[in-house]
Amino acid sequence: MRTLFSLMLLAAPLPALAALSIFACEPEWAALAKELGADKVSVYTAAGALQDVHRVEARPSLIARARGANLLVCTGADLEVGWLPLVQSQSANPAIRPGQPGYFEAADFVELIEKPARLDRALGDLHAAGNPHLHLHPRNIADVAAGLGSRMAQLDPKEGAHYRQRTEDFLQRWQQATARWEKEAAPLKGLTLVVHHRDLAYLVAWLGMREVGSLEPKPGLPPSSAHLAELLARLKQEPAKAVARSAYSDPRPAEWLAQRAGIPAVALPYTVGGSDRAKDLFGLYDDTLARLLAIPR
Amino acid sequence: MFRSMGCAMAFAMAAVPAHAQDAAQLKQLQQRVERLEAQTKARGQSAFNPDISLILQGTAASLQRDPETYQITGFAPSGGEVGPPRRGLSLAESELVMSGNVDPYFAGKLVAALTPEDELEVEEAFFSTLALGRGLTLKGGRFLSGIGYQNEIHQHAWDFQDAPLAYKVFLGGRLNDDGLQLRWLAPTDFFLELGTEAGRGRSFPATDPNKNGAGAWSLFAHVGGDGWRAGLSYLRVKPNERAFEDIDALGGATTQAFSGTSRLWIADVVVKWRDLKLQGEYFRRRESGDLAFDDSAGSGAFGALTDAYGSTQSGWYAQAAYRVLPQWRAGYRYDRLEHGDVSNGIVDNGLGPTAADFPLLMTEHNPTRQTVMVDWSPTEFSRVRLQVAQDKSRAGVTDGQIVLQYILSLGAHGAHSF
């Protein structure tokens, strides 16, 4: 056994090909890290684009990847509370623990909305810090990008100029795109939607749309037939133009309601990779707006 | 965090071109960051409290056979709480869990179980290191051993109400020794983890030796990928006078005690694919040493005898759980133990007791059990489960078991371990 120990102690970390090895919790942050780091970073994504981020498990592959990561880029605000603490402790990598520069939480750089006034699980699966699905507001992406670019420069000072230049470039392109999106999306103001989960709240707020109901009776609870029937009755009084859901969610409840209410069911990509066109963050917003603009008004 | 925010600020200033519009945006951003910092500071001392969670459980059971008579024939009793739950309505263990970081170097966790018999039991109380680096983690105290797959999973997170027969017979339900554990995670994209434990040997299969040094040693290796994990584990203990009671051929009470070496191998595999979870483990135990037999409290026909004893016994289970609907799962488990080879010198020398005087050890019975379950989890904090089992643990006896169970968790969010 002694030889086993010495073997264990001798094994040195394998050299990473890129300067910064980034472990992104969600695809949107993987896409952002690639924008800011380009060829100087290698990026691994924990959650799939069509996976419910609340349901991720601390898979062995995640633990192995986190072991060699220099930087974890996650949403925070307890979105990953079910699995990330396990990955952080089991990967035995002190650099990526909470409070270390190697742990980046997007929520630190954004003002969250929908902070619960009352913290009680009787009200559903609430996040104490506020709604964590923050990446569907372009201003939040810009704020997080500024924070992330600076964090990457801090962790890899040799390439600092590279990250700064890329971030500056990204922010400029993002700003132009945001201006274009806001112009294009002007007709969406006041559009009434039924949503599946509270994961589109930032998008709804940004575009001035109006949410008239949600398929989930309470955050995190799957739609029940009783609740859907009640929602259908409510839509007779206060009609909505469409039922919107994120690509990862079960399509059936949205389709059930849409069919009976005589309105379209729209699947939005939600994150990078959620649809064919959502290849990067720009594509994600382009496709999301295109799908919303296709709703007959 | 504040420092990094500061950096973000400084950098944001450098990064954004200095148009008037940008300056205004920058000011907004600055104000927002300041507001957020102020909020973070306002949390105060209570943030230093450990995370607390509470698990409440209870069962309603209907059993064909009296659980007091439960035994796994053909195997030495493990002394653990291995029987089915009490008949009728009863409270199960309530678990109180507290955990947190001690300082930059250590984290700590306590799992205390309040038993329905009004006892307080320490299931786990351990520290683990935070900053060793190089993929190493050292754990110390009392903890669920890393051997096998299910051993490290708390009972409330199991897919069935009770432990597989192999866990009951080879580990007394589970192994949570007092000791030290060192784990090493290989620096590869492929998951490879090696670990070793030195324990006191406070419970079955050991006998809590009163000696300096360790009474139980284990080694384990796990490999895994995106939706699977497999492992191989080894546990070695030296039980001394591991005693249990039995009834001889005449109906008289006997005591038997094993002293020697016990070696246990476990191979485990778990696969998760979409809504399906498959899990199986194979156990193989070799024991060699001496068996003491004493019937002086019963018939007194032979008195106290000791002779060589050796056994090679094995067992396995395989189970599947499938998420049928978002809140509903169904599962099936098959358990089987192999009595294997048992050589008992007291019987073999032909001068005294016969195999019939060792019904627990020498009955060539291969226990089996089939279990089906359906559970409903309205949220990830609550679960109600119905489980039906056909249990052939006792030789020649089939027990039908129906158990309804609730598991509720309050407080800090539980972890989705793989």
Task: Answer whether the bond into residue B205 is a cis peptide, omega within 30°.
Answer: yes
Asked if A8 and B32 come within 8 Å (Cβ–Cβ), the reply is: no
Give the start-to-end residue ranges of the domains of chain A: 17-180, 186-293
B63 by DSSP, 3-state: which?
A: strand
Residues of B in contact with A99 (CB under 8 A): 1
Q: Which of A88, A91, A92, A114 has the alpha carbon at shortest distance from A103?
A: A88
Taking CB atoms and an 8 Å cutoff, what residues of chain A touch B133?
Answer: 92-94
Burial class (CB in 10 A: 0-12, 13-18, 19+), B337: buried
Of A9, A121, A150, the CB nearest to B11: A150
Pair of tokens at residue B305: 């005898």
Tell me, yes or no, if A55 comes closer than 8 A to chain B by beta carbon: yes
Query: What is the reported pLDDT for B38?
Result: 52
CB contact under 8 A, A58 and B134: no
pLDDT confidence of residue B30: 66
Mean pLDDT computed over every residue of chain A: 92
Residues of A in contact with B14 (CB under 8 A): 164
- B22 exposure class (CB count in 10 Å sphere: 0-12, 13-18, 19+): middle
Mean local confidence (pLDDT), A25-53 = 95
Interface of A with B in 143-172 (CB under 8 A): 143, 146-147, 149-151, 153-154, 164, 167-168, 171-172
Q: What CATH number was assigned to the domain covering residues A17-180?
A: 3.40.50.1980
pLDDT at B239: 96
Assembly ipTM: 0.86
Report the residue from B15, B194, B418 with minimal CB separation from A60: B418
Instruction: Determine contact: B225 vs chain A, CB below 8 A.
Output: yes
Closest-CA distance of chain B to residue A110, Å: 8
Residues in A closer than 8 angstroms to B185, CB to CB, are: 63-64, 67, 90-92
CA proximity to B177, closest of B206, B134, B212:
B206
Q: Is B411 on the interface with A (CB under 8 A)?
A: no
The pLDDT tens digits for B136-159 are: 999 999 999 999 999 999 999 999
Section B235-259 average pLDDT: 95
Kindly state the percentage of chain B with pLDDT values over 90.
81
Buried b (16+ CB within 10 A) or exposed e, B130-151: bebebbebebbbbbbbbbbbbb
pLDDT of res. A98: 92
Those of residues 244-273 in A touching chain B at CB distance below 8 A are 250
pLDDT interval class at B39 (50, 70, 90): low
Topology of domain A186-293 in CATH is: Rossmann fold (3.40.50)
pLDDT: which is higher, A230 or B81:
A230
| pLDDT band at residue B21 under the 50/70/90 scheme | low
Model confidence at B179: pLDDT above 60: yes
pLDDT of residue A118: 87
Shortest Cα–Cα distance, A98 to chain B (Å):
9
Q: Do domains A17-180 and A186-293 have the same CATH topology?
A: yes
- pLDDT at position A17 is 53
What confidence category does residue B6 fall into, taking pLDDT thresholds of 50, 70 and 90? very low
Give the pairing of strands B399-411 and B191-199: unpaired
- Calpha distance B343→A168 (Å, rounded): 78
DSSP per residue, A13-48: PPPPSSSEEEEESSHHHHHHHHHHHGGGEEEEESS-
Q: Check if B267 contacts A (Cβ < 8 Å).
A: no
